[in-house]
Amino acid sequence: MRMKQNGMLTAALVAALLVPTEAIAAEPSQGQAYVETQKAVAEKAALLTGTYGTTSVQYALIDQGRILVSGQSGKNDEEGKVPLTAKTTYGTGSTSKMFTTAAVMKLVDDGKIDLDNPVTAYVPEFKMKDERYKEITTRMLLNHSSGLQGSSFANSFLFEDNDTYVHDRLLEQLADQTLKADPGAYSVYCNDGFTLAEIIVERVSGTGFSAYIHTNFTESLGMADTKTPLDNTDGFGMAATYFPVYQGQLPTETINAIGAGGIYSTAEDLVRFSQIFSGQKEGILSDESVEAMEQAEYNNGMWPDEADNSFGFGLGWDSVDLYPFDEYGIQAVAKGGDTILYHAALVVLPEENMAAAVLSSGGSSSTNQLLANEMLLHALKEKGEIAEFKHEKSFGEAAKAVMPEDVPNYAGMYGSTNQLIQVDIAKTGELSVSLPLMPNLPAEKYVYTTDGSFMSEDGTAKVSFVTEENGRTYIWVRMYASLPNLGQTALSHYSAEKLSANEITDATAAAWEKRDGNKYYLVNEKYTSLAYLLLPALQIDLLEEAPGYVKDKKITGPDTAASDLQIPMVGGRDTMEYRFLMQDGVEYLEAAGSLYVSEDALKPIYAGKKSLATIPRSGLAKWYTIPEKAAGKTMTVKLPAKGSFTVYDANGALVNFSVISGNNKVVLPQKGVLIFAGEAGSAYNVSLK
């Protein structure tokens, strides 16, 4: 689960300010001391936790099979009684995909999987509504080119709950979906491909996925602190987590899409794992499999022209030629991962037999990767492999030029996943980029330059327009982003695609206009879900500037809409279809396996002294509005054994979520909403005072 890109074309990496804390560096094992590297990394780790919004961070570097740098920084438990150590465990998010890829490649080595055989050869019951599914191969799952929509993650992010719903229901969910592109046409980040690969490993090996990775990887590599939610984790020292909407420590986050993002580990264990990719551990994966994983798979389909980049998919890897190591003539492969609360980065230098891992509570995989890069660069310099650090790059000063008359034809509305982007181009050569769905954000400005691109005033970003062989037009963004004392990353990607005209009938338009501005509330998410940290609702917003569309989705009928975007890398990830249906006079919205109920169906909570709410046989959650007569009263709920309730204020901000607060009492806010979630038949005795 790699972090999504949100906001404008050059979204900042910098997070909110926090109070600085001290970094603790472990003593290196035998080998090069790396004294200067230890010092530099400890300072940068403290910078992450003190300035860049990370609660705690853990890091490790391995060189020639020895862990020579290891440490941690920041805050752990709220009471300060449990110190951070090298054995404190973090969620690795999408870095888990490297375990899944390694498991598949192990079976390739054993002659049990051919990467270019169809998935149906290994999972015969895999089916979709789209006949092209028969063309999907295992290779396409690992290089993100399968054409699957993205992430069927209902009931996958839970608090202290290892429910296997997301794994057990994947095939059922895919059977009700279509593909967004021809298999193999281009690579765009896709979580479902790795859950499907996890299932392939189980079918071919005849064993559970967790057992397979332990037998073949963690046990032989001495990774005693690497677990999955299905393992016995009693006494397992997880790093404490926090979230901005809640004042206090949260229960442990459990990610049950194991093959896509559910493995828990330490920085030291991750660099031990890296040895199979740098030739330090023989007999686990063949050289041929390791080399195959490092090939530029992204070049097999549509992709922007070569430029400095932090993305370039291999098999499993986010990048097989990571910036800035290519500036030094060194190949680096990298994988990052983000859950809601944990973040991870693993960077491996195969030819140098070195790797660095950074894990954190809070922060992001992007900042973790910057720290991993810095750790490796300092170590390379300290042992004399590189002479000096390269200067950070930019595109220089924007030299304004006369713009050709046809360039303004690229103006118009563009789309990326769940976002619309308005592009305006003045005849005088100024480009303006704004987000109509976020009108309070100022527009980004660029000027036309001599090389035919638009450039930002500070010289860190270039914007061009490209019409690909598929006839679609894309915004191509190249940018450098720096954080003081943490280094620089580069990104080159198609950020959005120009929307084509979409005429709809009057009847279809009328059906959607009735929904415009309406909210739909999630009803089929488990009561332990992290989804309740933020108001789990979708709002239908139609824009006059994008007729025939709802956000990035093309309206296809009175009750249906689907994304038609074909954007490689990350801009077109996690697309989905909207389908509305009526049941017992109530309208529901289905999207990517999640079900939402119309706000029109919400009834006010009873404002009297006593009431009873019961989850129906369908198991769907019950939402209520808070009427004026109930607002300001204290609500006490007698909870069932398997149930929770959550209250939100008029702005959708969290007031109380019983799973994390342990509190069954709350003062009801004006014009808020509340939800009871639990197993079918669960009863909630409610009293108001």
β partners of residue 654: 648
Please tell me whether residues 577 and 607 are part of one structural domain: no
Cα distances from 88 to residues 528, 551, 590, 628, in angstroms, run 24, 41, 39, 47
Total domains, the chain: 4
Contact 244, 126 (CB under 8 A): no
Return the closest-CA partner of residue 342 out of 90, 528, 50, 56. 90
Task: List, in order, residues 6 or more apart from 73 with CB less than 8 Å away.
Answer: 21, 22, 23, 24, 42, 45, 46, 48, 49, 56, 57, 84
Does one domain contain both 593 and 612? no
77 falls within a domain: no
Looking at the structure, do residues 533 and 656 belong to the same domain, yes or no?
no
DSSP string, 459-523: SSEEEEEEE-TTS-EEEEEEEEEEETTTEEEEEEEEEEEEPPP----HHHHHHHHHHTT-EEEE-
Which amino acid makes up residue 312?
Answer: G
Is residue 383 assigned to a domain?
no
Reported as a single tens digit per residue, the pLDDT across 153-205 is: 999 999 999 999 999 999 999 999 999 999 999 999 999 999 999 999 999 99
Cβ 103 vs Cβ 316: under 8 Å: no
pLDDT tens digits, residue range 280-289?
888 899 999 9
Highest mean pLDDT among 19-33, 133-147, 236-250: 133-147
Residue 300, burial from CB neighbour count under 10 angstroms (0-12, 13-18, 19+): middle
Domain coverage including residue 244: 88-368
643 shares its domain with 591: no
Confidence of residue 9 (pLDDT cuts 50, 70, 90): low
pLDDT in tens, 560-609: 999 999 999 999 999 999 999 999 999 999 999 999 999 999 999 999 99
The structure tokens 């990830």 sit at 573
When computed from its CA atoms, the radius of gyration of the chain, rounded to whole angstroms, is 25
Question: Do 428 and 494 sit in the same domain of this protein?
Answer: yes
Domain boundary among 556, 582, 598: 598
Residues 674 and 581 in one domain: no
User: What is the predicted pLDDT for the residue at 33?
Assistant: 81
Per the prediction, the chain carries an average pLDDT of 94
- End-to-end distance of the chain based on CA atoms, in angstroms? 44
Q: How would you label 279-298 residue by residue, b for 16+ Cβ within 10 Å and e otherwise?
A: ebbeebbeeebbebbbebbb
Tokens linked to 550? 């709802």
Over residues 302-322, the pLDDT tens digits come to: 999 999 999 999 999 999 999
Residue 673 in contact with residue 626, Cβ under 8 Å? yes
Same-domain pairing of 103 and 245:
yes
Name the strands in the sheet holding 634-638, side by side, starting at the edge strand that comes first in the sequence.
610-614, 683-688, 634-638, 665-667
Position 12 pLDDT exceeds 50: no
CATH of the domain at 282: 3.40.710.10
Instruction: Report pLDDT digits (tens) over 352-408.
Output: 999 999 999 999 999 999 999 999 999 999 999 999 999 999 999 989 999 999 999
pLDDT category at 13 given cuts 50, 70, 90 is very low
Cβ neighbors of 583 (< 8 A, separation 6 or more) are none
Domain end, chosen from 478, 498, 518, is at 498
Residue 336, pLDDT score = 98
Residue 40 β-bridge partners? none
pLDDT at residue 387, as a whole number: 95
Q: How confident is the model at residue 20 (pLDDT cuts 50, 70, 90)?
A: very low
Residue range 203-226: average pLDDT? 97
Task: Please indicate, yes or no, if residue 51 is contained in any of the structural domains.
Answer: no
Sheet holding 23-25, edge to edge: 23-25, 66-74, 54-63, 354-362, 342-349, 333-338
CA 372 – CA 57 distance, rounded (Å) = 11
Does position 11 have pLDDT exceeding 50, yes or no?
Answer: no
Question: Are residues 478 and 567 located together in one domain of the fold?
Answer: no
Give how far the C-alpha of residue 667 lies from the chain's centroid of Cα atoms, to the nearest Å: 34
C-alpha dist (Å) from residue 639 to 162, 645, 657, 658, 659? 21, 8, 12, 9, 11
Say if 33 falls within a structural domain. Answer: no
The stretch 96-116 carries a mean pLDDT of 98
Whether residue 101 has pLDDT greater than 70: yes
Q: Is residue 395 part of a domain?
A: no
**Average pLDDT rounded to a whole number, residues 403-417:** 97
What one-character-per-residue DSSP string does 103-134 give?
A: HHHHHHHTTS--TTSBGGGT-TT---SSGGGG
Residues 420 and 546 in one domain: no
* CATH of residue 683: 2.60.120.380
Q: Does 13 fall in a domain?
A: no
Assess whether pLDDT exceeds 60 at residue 5. Answer: no
The reply to whether 65 falls in a domain is no
Quick one: 260 and 346 in the same domain? yes
Residue 216, C-beta contacts closer than 8 angstroms, at least 6 positions apart: 102, 103, 106, 284
The whole-number pLDDT of residue 211 equals 98
Q: Is 234's pLDDT higher than 70?
A: no
Do 314 and 455 fall into the same domain? Answer: no
Say yes or no: 143 and 291 in one domain: yes
Is 15 a member of any domain? Answer: no
Give the pLDDT band of residue 279 (cuts 50, 70, 90): confident
Of 498, 519, 552, the position where a domain reaches its end is: 498
